[in-house]
Structure 1
Amino acid sequence: MIIPVVDFGVYSLSERDAAGEELQRLSEELKAAFSQVGFAFLKNSGITQEEVERVMESSKRFFLQPEELKEGFSRTSFPNNPNHGWVSMEAERLNPSQPGDLKEAFNVASFHPDIKWPSSDAVRDFREIHTAFFQRCKELSLRVLRLMAQSLGLDPDVFLNAHQFIGTDENGTTLRSLYYPPLKSETVKEGQLRCGEHSDYGSITLLFQGSEGLQVCTRAGEFISTPTIPGTVLVNVADLMQRWTSDQLLSVRHRVLLPPVGDSSTRQSLAFFVQPDNEARITCCDGSNKYPPITGGDYLLQRFSESYGKD
């Protein structure tokens, strides 16, 4: 399996719009990738490598702080949005049958006025940088969703109408900064990975990788390593979108391996998890009843309970 590279230039964030024929051709390329592989690299998206590196550098400064400075921003400590905030090492197990994942994360899931942001001298630009990047990812995601609807012969706004509240507490979309620290092989538990085998929860995910380590599962059940292509964004279909499209588009399992023995390097990535609005009612878009209706918020809560337990 080879993940296709799709040139998004005609509909990039630097372009106001594109002609109908160009969009149709692009939508067909995306459909081929998402229905056969579940993943696609987008080049010329409009989001630059410099933007990505700026967010990674800001988040790394946060992760390198002492734990006592990070604990005040812990996930579940913000009443208006319990998914916002810092996730400590091993607190999350994306494969519930294995030990906790060997990673830290910071979820930007809320812009409520009462949210407290990291603001020490080391990370005083954290809020500004992450907020700006969230908005850039939102804009790109909406363009991808529009093309996905078009590729399926649907009203181009059918997915957009269910993503009207991205960036508010009425929608679970999250920008997640991920940090995988150096590991000592003697402390790793049996079956433990940097990120356990899983599929994503919502509509689509945008992933920006700082280095290799991600593996994607083929239809034959074999995990293959994905390359890192600077300047691109790796986009994948998530579980609720597969359900929404009656399995026309594929949500594929993936994982992040441990580094080779003796490799003390770190790994960073940025994931933008796009979710439908909490109250959006998701039904099969082909009119079938292959899957029962469910709201975006209820589905997300079900998946969180699997990854975190009853927190």
Structure 2
Amino acid sequence: MSIPVIDFSSYSLSKEDVSEEEMLSLSQQLKTAFTEVGFVFLENTGIAQEEVDRVLDSSHKFFLQPDERKQPFNSKNCVINPNHGWLSVAGEKLNPSKPGDIKESFNVCSLHPDIKWPSDGALTDFKELHTSFFHRCKELSLRVVTVMAHSLGLDPEVFLSAHRFVGTDKNSSLLRTLYYPPVKIEEVKEGQLRCGEHTDFGSITMVFQKEEGLQVLGLSGDYIDVPLIPGAVLINIADLMQCWTNDKFVSVIHRSLLPRAGDSKTRRSAAFFLYPDNEIQITCLDGSEKYPEVNAGEYIKACFKAVAVEN
């Protein structure tokens, strides 16, 4: 199994519209990818690798600071939104049965004017870069779900109307930048990974990689290494979308392995997690009732609670 690569230039962020013929082609390709693999690479989306690099470089400067400098931005201290801010190494375990993940991250989950942002020294452009990239990812993700709706023969408003409040406190979608630090193999706990086996929670996830290290579970039951394609966006289906479409689109398990013994290289990436608005009730669109109705906001909240490490 390999992850399909699709040219998205006909509906990139630089285009105001897409022709019916181009939409049909994109729809057919996305449907095949999301029903057979669950992951896809999109090239020529309008988000250039240079734009991604600027965000990752800015977050990297933040992560390399001593923990005491990062502590004021800890998500546990964010009264406005408990999912916004810094998560320390092993502060989360995406596979709850294993030790905390060897990664740290910064979540942009709220754009509330009272949110405190890193701004000292080399981080003066941190807020601007991250909020701008959040909006760019939001726009691209909505174009992707528009194509997904077409691929199922649905009015795009079915998905677009459920994501109207992305970027507000009525929606939990977030941009996450990640840093996987060097690993001392002798200090790793049994079963511990950089990122444990998991599926994502919401509608879709868009991943921007700087280095390799991600693995996807194929239909054969074996993990495959995700290649690094500069400038391409890796997109996958998440759990609520699988329920919403009654398994037409599949949410696939993935993970990030430890480096090999003696390999001290780090890994950086960014991910945009698109979630339905908090008030949306998710039911099978075909009326099958295979999955019970669930409130998107409550579901996402429970998922975050399940993977959080108390310390």
Is 1:144 aligned to residue 144 of structure 2? Answer: yes
SS at match of 1:76: helix
Aligned letter for 2:25?
A: R
In the alignment, the residues of structure 1 paired with residue 76 and residue 277 of structure 2 have an alpha-carbon distance, to the nearest angstrom, of 20
The corresponding residue for 1:177 is 177
Greater Cα shift, 34-43 or 295-304: 295-304
1:238 match? 238
Q: Separation in 2 of the partners of 1:67 and 1:267?
A: 19
Q: Is 1:262 the counterpart of 2:273 in the alignment? A: no
- Tell me how large the CA RMSD over aligned residues is: 1.0
SS in 2 for 1:42: strand
Contact 2:90/2:309 (CA < 8 Å) preserved in 1?
A: no
Match of 1:222 in 2: 222
Aligned residue type for 1:178: L
User: Hey, what does 2:288 align to over in structure 1?
Assistant: 288
Structure 1 residue 12, shift from structure 2 partner = 0.4
Structure 1 position 295, deviation (Å): 1.4
After TM superposition, the score normalised by the length of structure 2 is 0.98
Equivalent-residue separation in structure 1 for 2:300 and 2:310 (angstroms): 14
| Residue type of the alignment partner of 1:131 | T
Which residue of the partner structure matches residue 308 of structure 1? 308
**Match of 1:287, SS?**
coil
Q: Is the Cα contact below 8 Å between 2:93 and 2:309 reproduced in 1? A: no
Structure 2 Cα separation of the partners of residues 76 and 132 of structure 1 = 24
Which residue identity does 1:69 align to in structure 2? Answer: R
C-alpha contact 2:164 2:277 (8 A) present in aligned 1: yes
Q: Could you say which residue in structure 2 is the equivalent of 1:213?
A: 213
The answer to whether the Cα contact below 8 Å between 2:100 and 2:309 also exists between their aligned partners in 1 is no
How far is the alpha carbon of 1:310 from its aligned partner?
A: 6.8
Alignment partner, residue 121 of structure 1: 121
Confirm or deny that 1:157 pairs with 2:157. yes
Q: CA deviation at 1:95?
A: 0.4
Give the C-alpha shift of residue 251 in structure 1.
0.3
3-state SS of the aligned residue for 2:22?
A: helix
**Which residue number in structure 2 is paired with residue 96 of structure 1?**
96
Q: How far is 1:122 from its partner?
A: 2.0
CA–CA separation in structure 2 for the residues paired with 1:310 and 1:182: 23
Structure 1 unaligned residues grouped into runs of 5+:
none
**5+ long unaligned stretches in structure 2:** none
Match of residue 53 from structure 2: 53
Provide the rounded CA distance (Å) in 2 between the counterparts of 1:232 and 1:309. 32
Cα displacement (A) at 1:76:
2.5
Q: Which residue of 2 aligns with 1:110?
A: 110
Q: Percent identity?
A: 60
Matched residue type, 2:154:
L
Q: How big is the shift at 1:18?
A: 1.0
Q: How does 1:2-151 map to 2 (within 5 A)?
A: 2-151=2-151
Q: 1:309: Cα distance to partner?
A: 5.5
Is the partner of 2:77 in helix, strand or coil? coil
Deviations 1:273-310 (A, max 9, x none): 00000001111111221111111101101211210157
Cα distance between partner residues in 2 of 1:130 and 1:296: 25
The residue type equivalent to 2:87 in the other structure is: V
Q: Which aligned segments of 4 or more residues in structure 1 are displaced greater than 3 angstroms?
A: none
Amino acid at match of 1:228: L
Distance in 1, matches of 2:64 and 2:304, equals 26
